[in-house]
Structure 1
């Protein structure tokens, strides 16, 4: 594999790093924003969730734009929006500007969440699609860890503005890097020419035989004369779109974002100091990165559904153990047990549900509407994230901590049942094979 291939995938996944950073950084910043801009439980949730409102808008709009403008050009616009949002947060003088800055960042977050997995999936050869698709989740976890480290570095000076504003650095790197990235070959075949698609595939594929096979399958699917909107609203795609949306929703409401957003708050409630609480999140972030690296190497070797089921069992078990121990010996007496259980949750999530969603969503949807359908599913995902971000502080104040974790455990059980019954297996099949099988199973006809 040439170095240019690695650079394409790393730069392509850089939007995931920004998503992870902006998700993770708010957990530490919340501890200090109140010293300059007074917050209550509602406005605290609003600062967190305002980014998610922007993400809902961004993910909903980016899908059709990715299909119309191309994946590469859209990422360019997303990088500019990240820069504007980061600067706005750094200079925010009051709660209004702070929320506006988070909304702007959210537009870019939603756009990158919907666009980056599609880009990576369409650029990757079939046998590497899972590993390279997992790169997006790896970048997300690196972004979260980077945020935790930055939070810890600026904790002593209570530098929440620096925590939020430093997202401008990777944003500028993404803006510069996107200039050198190629467009997705599947988009080029649809909107430019076969030769343009071949030129890009020569960078990421090992030989002409693989390219010829992929081009042939892409041509067969492309010959079906349907518009993006016609595919999105077609009865044959509707069940898959619903499954994709529910899959995305479950990934966010099983409890991961309660941990990412509010881990320092949880640790503080358990009796740890502010600096120690932030340091604890650095440990969790490190574990998240390490297990996602493991996922890169196993996701193409084990069926996606088996990994998801294993992850569900592990996450639910760790939440139940934590809840029972808090109930029996108290939260302040079980601070280190909480750290261990949260770490176990992260291990199971990071190897399974974290990366596999971003691999499978683009795999499940047809070429003609892949960007738009992934955008719709990502929109639902952000709604789930918004619900968790807004309700967790309220639930944590209204209920005892163990009951909050038990609620997430029950959601995990429902997610397990959903995976077993409804989710299709996609490992080891080309995107065109998956689409062709979907059309056959649902009775869709070529036009």
Structure 2
């Protein structure tokens, strides 16, 4: 193992053993405004998913009234966008390796734009489903590409802050969807839901224009042999030219290119189009890659299996069950969910690089377990009483807010940060696309089954089930996910392969510190 990583040298200037460095408090990152601007533009694709989630929570009430459809069709309509997005996320990995990360962002916005227009003008249920099919493909592309691009353009010490942006924009989109619901709720039902869904085309237009100012990912440029272009991008997104050169050297090494090769010379090696990835990722993975894949797919599965989509998509129905009947009051309380969720994710972005991924993740999931259990208890009590139970209603509303807040300070953003930073360079696009596919498949299954599940085992029973899944996820995260803060994504594999390696490293660190202390004492004597 090298004595230190390249960015340790560039930032600290002091030799440091990487095993020990993993557990030292990271230095305060120096923000790069250009990298932040690029990340914001790329992550605007996530607004598209967030807006659809938020707007459908209220729009489905008006769709059901206007089109006269039952609960089964409503939950299928609500959840199928997640299933359709599997197509986009499945294609996005190879597409982004072929045409680049930046143009994949453009493609995502263009597809969603068409889908939003189709949904807005849909004359019937079948046409509406077709519009959601098109929009879902665009969402799938965006969910995969935004965290990949952001992770690849971010300096190491700012990576947690910047790669949490996709989740920030998902939450902003959800809030915009809730606001749209309230704004158009005064229209007649047949107009209300069409305006709610159709106006989602606006973010896609802004995205398509703004992306022209983005540079291509430097890591993708290196994979294509465009070293000079990659260096110019790194110069703009690094704290100094020295750091940019060291980042470039790390990327070259990860791509199998000699460090001493002139940056203006195109390597003779064949440009990467994603060939051989599935063999290295699935058929014959190394122990480290296998562990990385399990961790990435696991965190994506548990993010959705713990029921967050049921809380967000069906929050008006949850509040209806809790005893709130007025549509205006339902949508206002639902807007409060959006505000709390957005504030919590903004707070989380500033703590990811300070406290680390593991600590926030485990705290977040523990809070979700608590809130889900309390919500289940409150809903069960309300369901068992004919008369209103004011304290139980207050408990339900409070626990919904707690649940989305705990989700947003940890599990929500860390899922995307973690899975986008742990894969090796060659495997990153396809690996992240697999994670997104698991995420969307699980999300679709949860959102399309919630109403039926609530009828089968009661709404309280459904949330008891989600609480149990969240508890299992806490054990999985504690066992399988090492801390990744402060390590370059080119040197991430060393943390994986032995499932308790970070604990071994911590023991070495403590022993080393103890040895240093004994040595200092002896010198004093």
- TM-score of the superposed pair, with normalisation by structure 1: 0.95
1:370 aligns to 2:436 (yes or no):
no
Offset at residue 432 of structure 1 (A): 0.5
Structure of higher RCO (CA pairs closer than 8 Å, 6+ residues apart): 1
Aligned with 1:284 (options 337, 340, 345)? 337
1:185 aligns with 2:215: no
Residues 104-113 or 394-403, more deviating: 394-403
Asked if the contact 2:382/2:393 (under 8 Å) is kept, the reply is: no
The alignment of Structure 1 onto Structure 2 pairs a total of residues equal to 442
Q: Distance in 1 between matches of 2:494 and 2:479?
A: 21
Superposed, which structure 2 residues align to 1:100-111 within 5 Å?
A: 100-111=130-141
C-alpha distance in structure 2 between counterparts of 1:200 and 1:123, whole Å: 8
Indicate which of 246, 250, 272 corresponds to 2:298.
Answer: 246
Identify if the C-alpha distance between structure 1 residues 305 and 258 changes in structure 2 by more than 3 Å, giving closer, same or farther. Answer: same
Q: Could you say which structure has the higher helix fraction?
A: 1
Of 106, 112, 116, 2:142 maps to: 112
Secondary structure of 1:7's match? helix
Corresponding residue number in structure 2 for 1:140: 170
Report deviation, 1:437.
5.0
- Cα gap change, 1:99 to 1:434, in 2 (>3 Å): same
Q: Establish whether residue 12 from structure 1 lines up as the match of residue 42 from structure 2.
A: yes
Matched-pair contact (CA < 8 Å) for 1:66–1:372: no
Q: 2:238 aligns with which of 179, 192, 205?
A: 205
Secondary structure of 2:355's counterpart equals coil
State the alpha-carbon separation in 2 of the partners of residues 329 and 105 from structure 1: 38
**Alpha carbons 1:67, 1:369 under 8 Å: kept:** no
Aligned counterpart for 1:320 among listed residues 368, 373, 389: 373
**Which of 1 and 2 has greater Rg?**
2
- Please name the residue that 2:349 is paired with: 296
The equivalences for 1:158-177 within 5 A come to: 158=189, 159-177=192-210
Counterparts of residues 381-392 of structure 1 (less than 5 Å): 381-392=439-450
Partner-residue secondary structure (3-state), 2:239: coil
CA distance in 2, matches of 1:440, 1:189: 30
Give the equivalent residue in structure 1 for 2:93. 63
Whole-angstrom distance in 1 between the partners of 2:337 and 2:110: 30
Q: Work out the CA distance in 2 between the residues paired with 1:420 and 1:6.
A: 31
Alignment partners' CA distance in 2, 1:410 and 1:2: 41
Moved over 6 A (4+): none
Give unmatched runs, 5+ long, in structure 1. Answer: 442-447
- Could you tell me whether the CA contact under 8 Å between 1:130 and 1:359 is conserved in 2? yes
Alpha-carbon displacement from aligned partner over 1:28-55 (angstroms, at most 9, x marks no partner): 1001002221211221111112211211
The alpha-carbon deviation at position 399 of structure 1 amounts to: 2.2
User: SS at the partner of 1:339?
Assistant: helix
| TM-score where L is the length of structure 2 | 0.81
Is 1:311 the counterpart of 2:311? The answer is no
Residue 445 of structure 1 corresponds to which residue in structure 2?
Answer: none
Secondary structure in structure 2 of the residue aligned to 1:424: coil
The CA distance in 1 between the partners of 2:446 and 2:414, in whole Å, is 21
1:289-348 deviation line (CA, Å, top 9, x unaligned): 111111111000112111111111111111111222333454852322211101011111
User: 1:333-344 residue pairs with structure 2 within 5 A?
Assistant: 333=389, 334-344=392-402
RMSD of the alignment, in Å? 1.9
**What residue is the counterpart of 1:150 in the other structure?**
180
CA distance in 2, matches of 1:196, 1:437: 31
Distance 1:66 1:440 in 2: 31
How many angstroms does 1:148 deviate by? 0.2
* Post-superposition CA distance 1:194-215 (Å, at most 9, x none): 1101111122111011111111
